[in-house]
Structure 1
Amino acid sequence: MTLDRHFVHRVEHSTIQSRYPRTVGRNARLGSHGNGGVDDVVILHTDTGKTGWGLAAGPVPEEVVGRSVGELIDPATGVTEPGLRGLDFALHDLAGQILDLPVHALLGGRGSTTIPIYDGAIYFADLDDAGGVDAVLAHCAADDAAGYRAFKLKIGRGNRWMDRAAGDARDIEVTRAVRAAYPKHRILVDANDGYDCDGFIEYLEAVADCDLYWVEEPFLDDADDLARLKKHLQGSQTLIAEGESNPDLEPLLEIAANGDIDVLLMDVVSFGLTSWREVMPRIACQASPHAWGLPLKTLYAAQLAAGLGNVPTVEGVPGTTDGVDTSAYRWADGNLTVPDRPGFGLTLA
């Protein structure tokens, strides 16, 4: 049965509650990230009894009622109109439900269905706990026990929260302490644009033996600075990851084409599945959609990775989502396996 034979009968609005296993603290730019939050979801019901749901990725148009699903989404490319981007995830889920296909198959099935996941929740615990660096190590230990085998460390304490020199020294201390405690884990670092190029290169020189997997958003996007950083990393396996913060896409694609960005990070939800489907054939590097904020976004990014390929790892958001059955996603030893269930394989209670 084609999508054209199913018509949207009702648009339902709801919310989901995400919960982190602990309070997530500060990064280089922002204060405490709290314990979770409430986010909007949209549920689409058809006249044939099919249902699809997902995070609202923008304004949700009500005028889709009465239109066929085939008018709203092309399984080969995504939503058919810019005004439908708020329904990106709900429509992909609905199309999968109707066609009896997982989203990763709709996206092309070009990647592995088992994807390495890194822990994105290692923030500035040392600044909020008298234990200092040991507080960061305690969070790493908790997430290691939960199955993570890669940590992304927030750095850039000297941008806002500490004296510049003292903050940079603490970044170095934390990086070296985590590497010493976890010699076999991948370590990534994310400065949230909290350095300048000179300062970041000094940081890299101080942790040169820590075998960083990637460096993320080290400073405000600048083609010359990124070229300089890439030259400094010559001979190293460390990747440069960019594009999360207010991405100006065309300049980023040009910098990546020059070889000075290795991984593009546009957010899985705010950038969207349809946009990722459009841009992935154009990029001259790898991709790993930003997923921080909601555990659900990690599952979306994993579906994207399995569908579009060219994604070496996905950001993990430790935590749970009330009222959502995620049990079809299998988690073991740092890897997430996406299900072959229709749509995203997620059920709302």
Structure 2
Amino acid sequence: MSTFRIAACSETWPLKDAFTISRGSKTAAHVVVVTVSDGVHAGRGEAVPYARYGETVDDVLTEITQLASTICEHSDLGRALKPGAALNALDCAFWDFEAKRTGKSVAALAGLAEPVAKLTAYTISLDAPDAMAAKAAGARDLPLLKLKLGGEGDADRMRAVRRARPDARLLVDANESWTPDALLALIAVAAECDVEVIEQPLPASADGALRSVVHTVPICADESIHTADDLDRLDGLYDAVNVKLDKAGGLTGAIALSREARRRGLKMMIGSMVATSLAVAPAMLLAADADWIDLDGPLLLAQDRTPHLTIRNGIVFPPDPALWG
């Protein structure tokens, strides 16, 4: 019988502005927060149920509630749950609980280096080219921008932002919106605009076409990658992977994915869904070894939770243990 209690709830965090990608727009982050407590120490984890993968807040809460009484220890999670938001929230809460209970950092418990400050990308939502350029120009203190693209008009979007911010480092994320027919031309424009990486240009179901084109700009898997088990299928298709705790199975699964990706010589992005600092904090443990991090969720919120991550000029600092870890 377990000596701790597991509780879960949903929270809604309004955004500063609408967040728009190729699949739609949202004005708030809807998250699930799990607390693991023994009555003295408590650990928390946050996750984002994502419709792209068939998840809803209600379903994730039900899944956690139904399993709570059967979880006797941290190691039970991987056997009871498939990778997704529920597993992420529980896994991160257990890591935090163990850190609070033992007085050791999660990094020490997991055999990782302590987190370091790292530059995050700042997302420019999908919009008309001039609107995206204006948003980029207004973010002069943020040197690394990630452009959400949507298919038609993307060449104009990339060029407009590059003209507006000739100084910025650029990443682009098509969220599966490109077609094989348009792929070569759009990769060429990305190269022209000195884009560092193109994230998930084709639908996951059609990404085999990536094998037959020259990657003049590195191509990163996102919707096509969840866990380390997916890497065999992606061989020869992608140059990098986006590691997200919500997809990988929490911090535990993300560690396994990042290690195997590096072993195979892949570049790595550490990303997260739009969420609060509590969801982003665990990903900071993997940031030091990443080529890019995309952990700007707290910057997109109208207000973050307290305590929260410190982010200055795009630099994300390691979390205070009072927040997580």
Distance 1:247 1:232, change over 3 A: same
The answer as to whether partners of 1:117 and 1:315 remain within 8 angstroms in 2 is: yes
Counterpart check, 1:32 vs 2:12 = no
Distance 1:202 1:156, change over 3 A: same
Tell me what 1:219 maps to.
Answer: 202
Counterpart check, 1:304 vs 2:286 = yes
The unaligned stretches of length 5 or more in structure 2 are 49-59
Give 2:107's aligned amino acid.
H
The answer as to whether partners of 2:114 and 2:285 remain within 8 angstroms in 1 is: no
Give 1:24's aligned amino acid.
F
Distance 1:228 1:110, change over 3 A: farther
Counterpart check, 1:292 vs 2:293 = no
Counterpart check, 1:138 vs 2:150 = no
Q: CA RMSD in A?
A: 3.1
Cα deviation, 1:180-205, whole Å, max 9, x if unaligned, reads: 22122111111112122331211122
Cα deviation, 1:108-128, whole Å, max 9, x if unaligned, reads: 3337511220013x22222xx
Distance 2:13 2:316 in 1: 19
Cα deviation, 1:229-279, whole Å, max 9, x if unaligned, reads: 3x341xxxx3211032574854534534x4x42221243223222211233
The answer as to whether partners of 1:17 and 1:322 remain within 8 angstroms in 2 is: no
Tell me what 2:93 maps to.
Answer: 90
Tell me what 1:125 maps to.
Answer: 127
Cα displacement (A) at 1:42: 1.6
The structure with the larger Rg is 1
Cα displacement (A) at 1:64: 4.9
Distance 1:311 1:232 in 2: 17
Counterpart check, 1:153 vs 2:144 = no
Counterpart check, 1:339 vs 2:319 = yes
What SS does structure 2 have at the residue aligned with 1:339?
coil
The answer as to whether partners of 1:17 and 1:38 remain within 8 angstroms in 2 is: yes
The answer as to whether partners of 1:101 and 1:342 remain within 8 angstroms in 2 is: no
Distance 1:340 1:189 in 2: 31
Counterpart check, 1:41 vs 2:20 = no
What SS does structure 2 have at the residue aligned with 1:14?
strand
Distance 1:314 1:108, change over 3 A: farther
Which stretch shifts more, 190-199 or 290-299?
Answer: 290-299
Give 2:145's aligned amino acid.
F
Distance 1:62 1:109 in 2: 32
Tell me what 1:269 maps to.
Answer: 246
Counterpart check, 1:330 vs 2:310 = yes
The answer as to whether partners of 1:302 and 1:338 remain within 8 angstroms in 2 is: yes
Distance 1:249 1:103, change over 3 A: closer
The answer as to whether partners of 2:276 and 2:305 remain within 8 angstroms in 1 is: no
Distance 2:126 2:30 in 1: 23
Tell me what 1:109 maps to.
Answer: 112
What SS does structure 2 have at the residue aligned with 1:194?
coil
The answer as to whether partners of 1:16 and 1:41 remain within 8 angstroms in 2 is: yes
Tell me what 1:244 maps to.
Answer: 223
Counterpart check, 1:320 vs 2:301 = yes
The answer as to whether partners of 2:14 and 2:302 remain within 8 angstroms in 1 is: yes
Distance 1:64 1:219, change over 3 A: closer
The unaligned stretches of length 5 or more in structure 1 are 1-5, 127-132, 158-166
Q: TM-score, length-normalised on structure 2?
A: 0.78
Tell me what 1:54 maps to.
Answer: 45
Which stretch shifts more, 147-156 or 172-181?
Answer: 147-156
Tell me what 1:160 maps to.
Answer: none
The answer as to whether partners of 1:102 and 1:344 remain within 8 angstroms in 2 is: no
The answer as to whether partners of 2:276 and 2:304 remain within 8 angstroms in 1 is: no
Counterpart check, 1:196 vs 2:199 = no
Cα displacement (A) at 1:216: 0.6
Cα displacement (A) at 1:16: 2.4
Distance 1:311 1:209 in 2: 21
Cα displacement (A) at 1:218: 0.8
Q: TM-score, length-normalised on structure 1?
A: 0.74
What SS does structure 2 have at the residue aligned with 1:313?
strand
Distance 1:298 1:200, change over 3 A: farther
Give 1:225's aligned amino acid.
A
Tell me what 1:16 maps to.
Answer: 11
Q: Quick one: percent identity of the two aligned structures?
A: 21
Tell me what 2:52 maps to.
Answer: none
**Equivalent in 265, 278, 284 of residue 256 of structure 2:** 278
Distance 1:103 1:39, change over 3 A: same
